[in-house]
A and B are shown apart, each in its own frame.
Chain A
Amino acid sequence: MRKTVPLWVMLAVVLAAFLLTRLGGNRYIYFAGYFVLQYIVLATAWNVLGGYTGYVNFGTAAFFATGAYTALALILAFKATLPVQILAGGLTAGLLGLGIGYLTLRLRGVFFSIATLALSVVLQTVVSNWAYVGGGRGLSIIRPKAPELFAGHAEYLFVVMVLLAAGSVALAWWIENSWLGRGLAAIRDNEEAAECMGVPTLRLKLFATTASGFLMGVAGTPFPYYVTLVEPGSVFSLDYAVNSLAMPMIGGTTTWVGPVVGAILLGTAQQVATVTISSELNLLIVGIVLVAFVMLAPQGIVGLVQRLFHRRSR
């Protein structure tokens, strides 16, 4: 596929989404859509480090929250516009990823994973003690008016998220098919052999951690506008860690398609479930499905489909 095709696909998708919002329809679609799209970004981001490189990040919430709180701080200090927030949120989260990676990636993958889990807890403590952004009780913000092209905030944020989702998938697609992606795959398959084959493993791992963190931060930046009340409990929710991990593992970790499939399936299912059954029960089911997949179908849905076609073509 030529390198510019994804760009056109991206633009087409965003345009389609925008036109959809002009058609009107139930506001709820845009809220639900935002939820799923947000997870497309998070799942894709997780997969760059988890699926492509083989390093498991349990602290998605930390990076997501970094994006959200950077955006919040910028809103409070400079009344910054959304594009600025997104860039800043992404960069800050990316730097966090780089930092954590630098500290722990020279050791076994296990210690990186534990560090990410601990990071969430520590960051939550820091934020809860930071009065400027509302401390433990949180902060309410007033959204500035949505740009005139859009019917309302829900539609505006929906289209923004479509853009972010399309962008992150495009980035993942690019990484996967580039020399970078091949190097990451070598690290995932056998890190020691990769190092001996000339792959600069530490550098590539740091790239993956930074890119992954960046995307997670980006996913978090529209959050303050989306919820208007930003409090640590919800921003640091364990749901983010579990979902951003479960979606790629269930969808499939080796290509960009997996996280998208997983996010759409699981995200939609959860939206339905939260309305019909309790949200805790819904999470319980996610956990069980995750364990089942990791044990029985480690290649995810994409892997199962591939095996099905492989068998048919023989």
Chain B
Amino acid sequence: MAALLEVRGVTKRFGGFRALSDVSLEVREGERFGLIGPNGSGKTTLINCISGALGTDGGTLVFRGKDITRLPAHQRTRLGICRSFQIPRPFTSMTVLENLGIPLEYAAHGQVPRSAVASEAMEILRLMGLDAKAQARPADLTQIDMRKLELARAMAAKPKLLISDEAMAGLSSAEVDAILPILFALNERGITIIMIEHIMRAVMRFSQRIAVLDAGEKIAEGSPDEVVNNKRVETAYLGE
């Protein structure tokens, strides 16, 4: 499998605080990649740097062989990198269907003819189990439906790489079991997925490979079993 995304020596500072120090990793095409680490380890910062919400202070980002380090976020989305948000950020004045219309019209521009946007959106909603709520407003949705909408929107952007940022945070066990199959299904369609989660059983079940961050540094990378048995990882989570 070829490398889809290469993160090479990325550093990010906020004033005097080093959020990321020389982080390097590689995500292969079609892979299910997990990113874990204790709170404040820099996971979301790394995601923000990859998606373009934040600029880097050092290092390069290469996507499908192209250097995207200086590219603005919306162009990275057009290239195929898409992220869902930890706290759902729907477009509140639009219906659920219209919410999907935006990524279909903009991020997936050219891939979907204007007349097919609505039907394409419905197709995605059906996959997520949200088609009954197509005309609803985000304000009327339940928590779990909002999370599904986040993923649906990310999917509508026709990504090659989907970054799921704690899509299951705060959900019950049953709800987690409802979201996980959706992510597997997306991966089966050829979408490479980076999953950031605190819910260990979800990450362990889902990921083929996992990277672990702690205090802005990558401290481990490997299969779920390798990572779980890694001493440094244990220390990072449990302390000395």
| Chains A and B touch each other in the complex, with CB atoms below 8 Å apart | yes
B164 contacts the other chain (CB 8 A): no
A residues in contact with B153, CB < 8 Å: 193, 197
B157 contacts the other chain (CB 8 A): yes
CB <8 Å contact, A185 and B93: yes
A8 contacts the other chain (CB 8 A): no
A residues in contact with B103, CB < 8 Å: 197-198
Partner of B106, one of A188, A190, A199, A254: A199
Knowing A196-B51, A198-B74, A200-B74, say if A185 contacts B91 (CB, 8 Å). Answer: yes
Partner of A189, one of B82, B94, B101: B94
Total cross-chain contacts (CB, 8 A)? 76
Bound-state CA distance A229–B138 (Å) is 53
B-side interface size class:
20 to 34
Interface 1/0 per residue, A241-254 and B, CB below 8 Å? 00000000000001
- Per DSSP, chain A at the interface is helix
CB <8 Å contact, B85 and A183: no
B residues in contact with A192, CB < 8 Å: 53, 89
A174 to chain B, nearest CB (A): 16
Interface 1/0 per residue, A199-230 and B, CB below 8 Å? 11110000000000000000000000000000
12 of the cross-chain contacts (CB-CB < 8 Å) are A179-B105, A182-B98, A182-B102, A185-B94, A189-B90, A190-B90, A196-B73, A196-B77, A196-B85, A198-B78, A198-B109, A199-B102
Question: Which residues of A are in contact with B by a Cβ distance under 8 Å?
Answer: 179, 182-183, 185-186, 188-190, 192-202, 254
Question: Which residues of B are in contact with A by a Cβ distance under 8 Å?
Answer: 51-53, 72-75, 77-78, 82-83, 85, 89-94, 98, 101-103, 105-109, 114, 153, 157
Excluding A189-B91, A193-B89, 13 further A-B contacts by CB distance (< 8 Å) are: A179-B114, A182-B98, A182-B102, A185-B94, A188-B93, A190-B89, A190-B91, A193-B153, A195-B52, A196-B73, A197-B103, A198-B102, A200-B75
